[in-house]
Structure 1
Amino acid sequence: MTALPTSALRIRKAAVLGAGVMGAQIAAHLTNADVETVLFDLPAKEGPKNGIVLKAIENLKKLSPSSLADKDRAEAIIPANYEENLDWLRECDFIIEAIAERMDWKLDLYAKIAPHVSPTAVLASNTSGLSINRLAEALPEGLRHRFCGVHFFNPPRYMALVELIPGRATDQAVVAGLEAFLTTTLGKNVITARDTPNFIGNRIGVFSMLATMHHTEQFGLGFDVVDALTGPAIGRPKSATYRTADVVGLDTMAHVIRTMAETLPDDPWHAHFKAPAWLTALIEKGALGQKAGGGFYRKLGKDIVVLDVAKQDYVPASQQASAEVAAILAIKDPAEKFARLRASTDPQAQFLWAVFRDLFHYSAYHLATIADTARDVDFAIRWGYGWKLGPFETWQAAGWQQVAGWIAEDIAAGKAMSTAPLPAWVTDGRAGVHGKEGSWSAAEGKYKPRSHHPVYRRQLFPDPILGETFDQGTTLWENEGLRLWTLGDDGVGIVSFKTKMHTVNDQVLDGLQHAIDLAEQKLGALVIWQTGEPFSAGADLKGVLALLQAGKFDAFEAMVANFQRTSMRIKHALVPVVAAVRGLCLGGGCEFQMHSARTVAALESYIGLVEAGVGLLPAGGGLHELALRAGKANPADPFEALKKVFETVAMAKVSGSALEAKHMGLLRESDVVVFNPFELLYVAKKTALALAESGWRPPLYERAIPVAGDVGTATFRAQLANLQAGYFASEHDVAVATRIADTLCGGAIERGSRVDEQWLLDLERRHFVALAKTEKTQARIAHTMATGKPLRN
């Protein structure tokens, strides 16, 4: 493993100051990562002194998506208040303040806590844009070298970006230690930002929203039209601009704009740092967005309506991009796309060009003062705002000099939002800001490579910037379904699927078996890892349905048997096979990881045996493995261990995280959870090597598995009858679930009987084929393929 730097920051216990939306969620994510966390707030005026924090912890359980990777972890957060518990801070290695964005409030709090902070603790502020150096002035001089900004984006569990902002006095060892902790322990993508207002992400991101609002007014477009133009059509999230503002809160948006106006008086774009009249009017009416029931959008019955400024009323939200602009946005070549946008007379095209032009102009003008390199700006926007490409990447892909010339022309013609000239480096003939030598640092006038921090050695395939490539390893063998390859000379083979959504078909099944054969001959271990998400969406339903509709049931059963054979080959390989899971891991993909020697799963892994949703049951050995585990967990009464997994499989439940998958019985306690997905392959390879070095032997074939038998199946049937009687389950739902129950319980045999693994596999396969032959199951498969949604029939 990569050695920890000598300045490694050891954090056993943390404190979060402020139990508001951000503070509570930061506490939740620290707890997700097994960091003991104390959550502070003001003492409640009535009831228990910790009432405010206790309410915040309860609210965490209700959030969707959940900030807790495992809801039971809410109980691990320690409630505290500033009146009674400040002494607890002495035990904390990391203290992060996350109260409201008021400089005076933060300074008062720092004065209160400073005497109680341990001499070795790191203190941080989660401010989204206030000066770190100004905040540091409130601290005793001995604390300032251990103070900095650590800005999480909302929601902290899911947003990858954390901005790390050192102050003038911050010790570099503290910064390096925090970067490693945030990256590996909390799974974040860290960018070091300068102490300038709003740092990098919000400085550029909020300006982009301001520019969009300005041009919305200038070109007279509706809010729904703008959202149609500034969402997925240009590689940005579905929430686009005005839906995002509604989610953030219009009052929050106005506050950020005011902050920019107050803290950036000399910015050449300062005249535009003000809320449009219609935004102010909405706030005055209390229409603050989603939290207030409406803002730019409002739900009216089942319909979504949008504010029409001219009518001063809400109208149906239905407008989309014009035919001309939709055709332009469909062009794949970025250079042609931007040329067509700029040349078009369509107001929507002119709007889009203007928004991009002013974003590029602003980003280039401020690069030297706000960020070390252009890479930091692009990653901040990608990781913090969910864009596919950052502003500089978008510009470079469209042809740097061509676009620079157009921007300069528009500045000269008075069309741009500011008359500030482009920096000289922009038009010096360069092809862009990202290249083989690294990314452009405007402050230093040179290209700079990625960080050499030791923590990044763990990222074998980091998130690439535009044009960046990494060693793709050496191919040992491949077929149409997968590739077997190595990276380096550690003796670990890597298997990556080549199918769409990494689904499992005959080529994948045959390929996996052959890859294991080769690994046993030439390698020490094997890792199943995909070059992107998902791990696997399960079996190739298209191929399944084709065989069924053609009536080729023998071929269909042979395919199922091959699936089972592949899972068992994974389990009984003479080299350890480790599954490296990230994103969706469904159906057959879940079964593969269940049979692996070990699973290394990224926290954001959504794992499930979902076959019941299409009228089938898991038949790649999944039910066989669950029955086997139940028999081992409780040999005297396997039924007890089956209760939870039966519900999980019969209801096609998918875990909300890797931690939750452990509770559901889909991951083992011995399986490893990795918080940073870019470290997944590194950890999986090290895990596989450790197993190999420890003298790995596959588990013995089980010949005497205790099962719950017909009594167990009957008990499950009784539960199903109640569900059907209450109209919670259809007749076919019950038929599917009954076959799942029969397989898990070992079939129509006496309770406590002992069976071997092949018995369970045969039972699983028979039930699967029987269900697949039914019209209702075939209808479910066809419907899911056509719509992506389950059919209840």
Structure 2
Amino acid sequence: MWNVRKAAVIGAGVMGSAIAAHLANAGIPCLLLDLEGLAAKGLERLKDTRPSPLYDPSFQVRIKAGDLDRDLAELSECDWVIEAVSEKLDVKHSVWKRIDSVWKPGMIVSSNTSGLSINEIASVCGEECRRHAMVTHFFNPPRYMKLLEIVPCRDTVPEAVSSVARFCRDRLGKGVVIAKDTPNFIANRIGTYSILATLRAMEKHGLTVDEVDAVTGPLLGRPKSATFRTLDLVGLDTFLHVCRNVRESVTDPLEAEAFAAPAIIEELVSRGWLGEKSGCGFYRKNKEEKSKDRIQVLDLSTMDYRPRQRISSPALEAAKMASGISGKAQALLEAADRDRLAGFARDVLEATLCYSAEKLGEIADTVMEIDQAMRWGFNWEEGPFETWDALGVSATAVKLEERGIAVPVPVAAMLAKESETFYVRKAGSLFHYSQGHYKFVEERPEEISLRSLRDRGRTIFAADGARLIDVGDDVACLEFHSPHNAIGPGVLSAIRQASEEVDRNWRGLVLANEGRNFCVGANLMLLLMEAENGEWEEIDLIIREFQQSMKSLRVMPRPVVAAPHRMTLGGGVEACLPADRVLFSAETYFGLVETGVGLIPAGGGCMTAAVMAQERAEAAGIDDVTSPITQLFETIALAKISDSGYHAKRLGYWRAGDAAVIREESRIAEAKTAVLELDRRGYAVPDANRLVKVGGREAATVLKLAVSSMRRSGYITDHDVRIAGKLAVALTGGDLPAGAEVPEDYLLELEREAFLSLCAEPLTQARMRQMLATGKPLRN
């Protein structure tokens, strides 16, 4: 079984350095080679790159910079060599000849090209090297973009392809698709065509940049960057290069014409307006503007920048109100004959769906590979064939014919066989259309899909905002499904119900879900409404229920493992902290952020922080908890959020046994395994009445002195001082002697009282309103 004990990346540019960084993220020693001095500069650049290519800065020690001429022989020590030099065939040939000269049996050699032919690249190598050659196209930035396209050449042995695919999936956490050696492979081929179709439809309907981006973002299941912000991020010169690569490589003159360079983009490139990297493109920041909206948009009729405009129409408003991507698309299509923005949307959708179907079999064998490529590489919520199914394949084909548009051959062939959808679910199993028949989507034992389990009837109970699911081996998973997975009364009730159910009938509990984020915190809107109405008893009841729900997780006589992912904030963190173990997704942004809205954690977060400080003092063999509580105080008071699961450790949130999981799809299965491991060891029932050793008045004084110093320096406001003072009391136990032992409920009472008093503050309510309105904190 192929393994990578050491890897090498040749080319220390932005992409090569970032690939090396992600190999280091996965624990793989990596040699980064370039011309003399360039690799060292590439490594140095990693430190300043934002967002960081590394999960943790310490991982950079796994990368060794070298000189391609001097250190070429070291490649023979590597199991995987990745070429990431410039997209020029002659430059790649020069590098591949050198690799071939030191190639050893078992070594995989791959190119990170975004669209050049691997057959042409590897043509300068010997047969054995070609048998282990392929494209591994990482999408940029490699740490954050899930897609990895693998493209074998004619001579590549299947075992090499499957080995690399398995390794990239399991160790690097990638979403792997196998593409064919065609221009720009899958994602860039479809994505570039879709953007070009958008520009053609824009000209046809006479739309502005604002109008196009208002339609081609979330309303069509695309990212908020929509069309023109995406182009600016990619780089307009880069986009022209991608267009040219397809145009010069395809044999169909009509397809070549479809990839002709848009005149407006050529004009902007000639002016040096390349997008984000040059400071302006279709958008720019007005540095003179001091208001919140500094972004200006290009007016194509004058070629001057102007303020952005709010775009609206009856069709757009109807689409915004519709449920789901298919509902939004249907709303736009229904209005296409009477609303020019909806008509534009129809043209873009139809062109993209038809082109994707026409390329089936040419750029990839299956609809799933194309859909996955677009979801993972371009962040579409649905791939083109998933969209065909959502809109109705037969109904869409009829509408195309009515409008004089030819139905793509693969679609017509499928319908002729009386097959109505590209995807079929039977008895909870998924099948997808491939070359005239349906292919079973094999489920991997190390992956658990909650959606698939729900389809199979494995729901134990469903409540308002959460459900409990049987994930096998007598383990249950509590899945939040409230809006944004926020914690409200329904979720709290489900937590208590799940604790009772698992205690009686199951070996343990996993806390996890498959939402966009694990949990963005408590229901802030509900809390603000109660505060503005002066419903203090109601708020007190809510906080008590929150604390008791979290305590029910902590004291449950069964193991609990939390598996958070992406945004895990405030109450979401407090739901994880009672668990026996936390398995962070590598991309977990974890933090108690209540001070950002003028509050402190009150769902057990402060109490748990005090417990963690005590445990760390005991582990260090000291009696004084001041040092560990100071770190946690700073983390919570400044509302720090980890920028990875690993970073949560440096913020003080990890405990013994916690870990991070790179492969997102394995997260829930890993958590289940951890539950079973804890159960097999003989799970000790938690002490429901444990005592906590606190820092007392001495530690509180230290914390408050630090706050006073920050206020004198102008770093914080008077209201920040008030919040931090209450946080210091809640974390240290307040006016008690150092080392005093108190029951948990004593600390819970302190945090609840502080929370209630802060809720009554007008400045806190202003912060809450600002966060709800803009998503950004208010400093007042």
2:518–2:566 CA contact under 8 A, matched in 1: yes
* Alignment partner of 1:207 out of 193, 202, 212: 193
* SS of the residue 1:403 aligns to: helix
1:337-736 superposed matches below 5 A: 337=331, 339-344=333-338, 346-408=339-401, 410=403, 424-425=412-413, 428=416, 430-436=419-425, 438-441=431-434, 444-450=435-441, 452=442, 456-461=444-449, 471-488=455-472, 490-549=473-532, 551-634=534-617, 635-700=622-687, 705-736=692-723
1:408–1:422 CA contact under 8 A, matched in 2: no
The CA distance in 2 between the partners of 1:10 and 1:702, in whole Å, is: 49
Paired residue type of 2:8: A
* Alignment partner of 1:22 out of 6, 10, 15: 15
Give 1:347 deviation, angstroms. Answer: 4.1
* Alignment partner of 2:29 out of 31, 36, 50: 36
Which moves more between the two structures, 350-359 or 182-191? 350-359
The CA distance in 1 between the partners of 2:492 and 2:342, in whole Å, is: 48
Give 1:481 deviation, angstroms. Answer: 4.9
* SS of the residue 2:360 aligns to: helix
Task: Give the 3 Å change call, closer, same or farther, for CA 254–627 of structure 1 in structure 2.
Answer: same
2:357–2:408 CA contact under 8 A, matched in 1: no
* SS of the residue 2:564 aligns to: strand
The CA distance in 1 between the partners of 2:343 and 2:33, in whole Å, is: 50
Partner residue, 2:214: 228
Task: Give the 3 Å change call, closer, same or farther, for CA 715–325 of structure 1 in structure 2.
Answer: closer
Give 1:476 deviation, angstroms. Answer: 3.3
Paired residue type of 1:605: T
In the alignment, structure 1 residue 314 sits paired with structure 2 residue 305? yes
Partner residue, 1:86: 72
Give per-residue Cα distances to partners, 1:448-494, cap 9 Å, x unaligned.
Answer: 222x4x7x3322218x8xxx886354343454353333133x11122
Give 1:548 deviation, angstroms. Answer: 4.1
Partner residue, 1:162: 148
Paired residue type of 1:784: M
Task: Give the 3 Å change call, closer, same or farther, for CA 763–296 of structure 1 in structure 2.
Answer: closer
Which moves more between the two structures, 323-332 or 88-97? 323-332
Partner residue, 2:85: 99
Paired residue type of 1:615: G
The CA distance in 1 between the partners of 2:556 and 2:73, in whole Å, is: 55
**Count of aligned residue pairs for this structure pair:** 763
Give per-residue Cα distances to partners, 1:598-619, cap 9 Å, x unaligned.
Answer: 1122112111111112222112
Which moves more between the two structures, 567-576 or 688-697? 567-576
* SS of the residue 1:367 aligns to: coil
Paired residue type of 2:121: L
Paired residue type of 1:474: R
What is the RMSD of the two structures over their aligned residues, measured on CA atoms?
A: 2.8
Task: Give the 3 Å change call, closer, same or farther, for CA 776–269 of structure 1 in structure 2.
Answer: same
Give per-residue Cα distances to partners, 1:646-671, cap 9 Å, x unaligned.
Answer: 11100111111111111111232521
Paired residue type of 1:230: T
Paired residue type of 2:572: G
Partner residue, 2:269: 283
* SS of the residue 2:225 aligns to: coil
Give per-residue Cα distances to partners, 1:108-142, cap 9 Å, x unaligned.
Answer: 10111223344222221111111122222222222
Partner residue, 1:248: 234
**Which consecutive aligned stretches of 4+ in structure 1 deviate over 6 angstroms post-superposition?**
419-423
Paired residue type of 2:464: E
* SS of the residue 1:40 aligns to: strand
The CA distance in 1 between the partners of 2:410 and 2:538, in whole Å, is: 66
* SS of the residue 1:600 aligns to: strand
Matched residues, percent identical?
37
Task: Give the 3 Å change call, closer, same or farther, for CA 636–469 of structure 1 in structure 2.
Answer: closer
Task: Give the 3 Å change call, closer, same or farther, for CA 648–424 of structure 1 in structure 2.
Answer: same
Which moves more between the two structures, 495-504 or 737-746? 495-504
Task: Give the 3 Å change call, closer, same or farther, for CA 291–736 of structure 1 in structure 2.
Answer: same
2:389–2:422 CA contact under 8 A, matched in 1: yes
The CA distance in 2 between the partners of 1:250 and 1:552, in whole Å, is: 55
Task: Give the 3 Å change call, closer, same or farther, for CA 493–290 of structure 1 in structure 2.
Answer: same
1:491–1:524 CA contact under 8 A, matched in 2: yes
Partner residue, 1:124: 110
Give 1:325 deviation, angstroms. Answer: 5.4
Paired residue type of 1:237: P
Which ranges of structure 1 fall in alignment gaps of 5 or more residues?
Answer: 1-6, 45-51
In the alignment, structure 1 residue 749 sits paired with structure 2 residue 736? yes
2:600–2:755 CA contact under 8 A, matched in 1: yes
Paired residue type of 1:458: E
Partner residue, 2:98: 112
2:509–2:675 CA contact under 8 A, matched in 1: yes
Partner residue, 2:748: 761
* SS of the residue 2:355 aligns to: helix
Partner residue, 1:305: 296
The CA distance in 2 between the partners of 1:151 and 1:717, in whole Å, is: 52
Task: Give the 3 Å change call, closer, same or farther, for CA 774–293 of structure 1 in structure 2.
Answer: closer
In the alignment, structure 1 residue 152 sits paired with structure 2 residue 138? yes
Task: Give the 3 Å change call, closer, same or farther, for CA 787–196 of structure 1 in structure 2.
Answer: closer
Task: Give the 3 Å change call, closer, same or farther, for CA 531–324 of structure 1 in structure 2.
Answer: closer
* Alignment partner of 1:292 out of 265, 268, 278: 278
Give per-residue Cα distances to partners, 1:403-461, cap 9 Å, x unaligned.
Answer: 3244345556xxx9xx99787516636423223472222xx3222222x4x7x332221
* SS of the residue 2:487 aligns to: coil
* SS of the residue 1:458 aligns to: coil
Paired residue type of 1:54: A
Paired residue type of 1:383: W
1:472–1:487 CA contact under 8 A, matched in 2: no
The CA distance in 2 between the partners of 1:693 and 1:334, in whole Å, is: 49
Paired residue type of 2:214: A
TM-score when normalising by structure 1 = 0.90
The CA distance in 1 between the partners of 2:772 and 2:306, in whole Å, is: 35
Partner residue, 1:47: none
Give 1:521 deviation, angstroms. Answer: 1.9
* SS of the residue 1:581 aligns to: coil
Paired residue type of 1:425: A
TM-score when normalising by structure 2 = 0.91
The CA distance in 2 between the partners of 1:265 and 1:21, in whole Å, is: 33
Paired residue type of 1:28: A
The CA distance in 2 between the partners of 1:624 and 1:686, in whole Å, is: 28
Give 1:734 deviation, angstroms. Answer: 0.6
The CA distance in 2 between the partners of 1:166 and 1:116, in whole Å, is: 21
* SS of the residue 2:577 aligns to: helix
The CA distance in 1 between the partners of 2:415 and 2:730, in whole Å, is: 69
Which moves more between the two structures, 526-535 or 590-599? 526-535
Which ranges of structure 2 fall in alignment gaps of 5 or more residues?
Answer: none
Paired residue type of 1:361: C
Partner residue, 1:175: 161
Give 1:256 deviation, angstroms. Answer: 0.8
* SS of the residue 1:177 aligns to: helix
The CA distance in 1 between the partners of 2:671 and 2:72, in whole Å, is: 41
Paired residue type of 2:757: A
